[in-house]
Amino acid sequence: MTIQVGDRLPASTLAKMTADGPEQVDADSYFQGRRVILFSVPGAFTPTCSARHLPGFIDKAADLRAKGIDEIACTAVNDVFVMKAWAETSGVGDRITMLADGNGTFARAIGLELDGSKFGMGLRGQRYAMVVNDGVVEALHVEEPGEFRVSSAEHLLDTL
């Protein structure tokens, strides 16, 4: 079943790269007590993700924080090393936290997985953006296949 507005995020583990190497991130703890935008891309280094989705959040990070967002996080069904390389080549800096969902367990747990097998990509996460307030989904914007509108940073700015 797909997660809905008002639902609490399920218990899950993601990963992020730190100066000391990969670190496991407990979703319950990560989202607790703050308002976070979590956006998902089908894959690091893929065309729309690299040319529009991630850059939009990099460019609008300060504007989103000015509207009461404490953290912006990007997730993809990629390993933590790929997410680190993508962050470095994209100039993410400290504006966005890159959360790897290497096995797609988070995507499956929230019902937003995508079968990219016909493109040679296997299981991925759908393109979406959500606002999570203290672990509860406050807003959810899931793209139709092949679209990029409602999960953009610009759209979230308009809806906050």
HEC secondary structure over 51-69: HHHHHHHHHHHHHHHHCCC
The strands making up 21-26's β-sheet, listed across from edge to edge, are 21-26, 13-18, 97-100, 71-76, 35-40, 128-133, 136-142
**Annotated catalytic residue, options 3, 41, 44, 49:** 49
Q: Based on the residue annotation, tell me whether 49 is a catalytic residue of this protein.
A: yes
Residue 70, phi then psi, degrees to nearest 5: -85, -30
Amino acid residing at 2: T
Whole-angstrom distance, CA of residue 66 vs CA of residue 62: 6
Q: Which residues are designated catalytic?
A: 49
